Amino acid sequence: MEEEEEEEVMFVTLHDGRRLAYREQGVTANDRIVQKSLLVLHGTPSSRLAGMPGVSEDLLKEMGVRLVSIDRPGYGRSDKNQSQTFESFATEIAEIADLLALGEKFWLLAYSGGGSYCWAAIRYIPHRIAGVAMWAPYGNYWWKDIPRPERKICLKALNRNSARLFPIARYMPRSVVYFFTRHFFPKPTGVNKFVETLSSFLSPPDVHCLTPEFSLGLIRDVIESTKQENHGVAQDAVLDTAADWGFELPDIQKAYKGPLHIWNGDEDQLVPLHLQECIQKQLPDLVHLHPVAGEGHFSAFCYNDKIQRETLTTLFEDSGVAPAEEVSLDDEQKNSET
């Protein structure tokens, strides 16, 4: 099974020689369908295998979506980048889009820990982004425009494991890197134990979401994410908890004017809805917030056809994109002549 999966891994090679792994779903680059190229930024820990967890191929093809999921540096099969910053990865997103012919403009979908890199892309490569959807995205709790009392409410809403990570990662980053690269899921059995204990710090909707099908997919995804000795997880922990991301909320407002939609369960204990509410208060003309009542971090989005369809429909309609349609031979001929 492992050997078969290895043969299916696809890579792009960046200008500095590093390779990043990716996966495609839905409409392919060769299909004669007007495409909507959607690049997915996975959570933490996660990998390209997650994509839109449980999404139907029929839904993607119905909407003409070419969905590309990548392993961020240090995750899965992607090479590490020891000097990675939010800005450097944002420029790599643009490079990946060019290498995979995603178009001059493409859409972004970020889930959970992928949110920090999506915010960076909005800030640093806004000219390449047609629209953004984010599911329970991570944000900077220390952005200067988030008032201190609101920040405290957000941090208090986190589960105990996440709350403990902040002071350690901020003030002892080397210890965090050591822990994740030496002791975090050193063997597949560790991943199984992790999934088994998830219920101890998840909200009831998420616990209910831990079906055998979902748990199996989660275990496979997390095991895949550890292939680079958890370097990606360690790097994310240090970058995400830093007070200075290199940009503030007003910088995002000035840079980007396109569609930006955020969905977040109101019972999410991993990324609290209140964080998104704080961000929306500062960016009221930019952020469209969609609270998902009675749902958590996983239950709102994983194997949830309703939310997945709503996300794609809202994202593309707000971008003014027509429904998918077949490209005629006459159209192809006209394009080749111009």
Q: Report the candidate in 184, 19, 161 with the shortest Cα–Cα distance to residue 96.
A: 19
pLDDT band for 160, please (50, 70, 90 cuts): confident
| Average pLDDT for 143-149 | 97
Higher per-residue pLDDT: 197 or 153? 153
Does the pLDDT at position 325 exceed 70? no
What distance in Å separates the CA atoms of residue 113 and residue 280, rounded to the nearest whole number? 18
pLDDT for res 181? 63
Per-residue pLDDT tens for 165-186? 777 777 777 676 666 666 565 4
Average pLDDT, the chain: 87
Sheet containing 10-13: order of strands: 10-13, 19-26, 65-70, 36-41, 106-111, 129-135, 260-265, 288-292
Contact 223, 96 (CB under 8 A): no
| Average pLDDT for 102-130 | 97
Does the pLDDT at position 192 exceed 80? no
Which value, in Å, is the radius of gyration of the alpha carbons in the chain? 19
Per-residue pLDDT tens for 9-52? 999 999 999 999 999 999 987 786 767 999 999 999 899 999 99
Residue 174 structure tokens? 């080397």
| Average pLDDT for 88-102 | 97
Q: In 10 A of CB 250, how many CB atoms? A: 13
Does the pLDDT at position 326 exceed 90? no
What distance in Å separates the CA atoms of residue 282 and residue 146, rounded to the nearest whole number? 8
Measured N-to-C along each axis, helices 231-241 and 173-183 cross at an angle, to the nearest 10 degrees, of 160
Per-residue pLDDT tens for 232-250? 988 998 899 888 999 999 9
pLDDT for res 338? 39
Share of the chain above pLDDT 70, in %: 85
What distance in Å separates the CA atoms of residue 66 and residue 38, rounded to the nearest whole number? 6
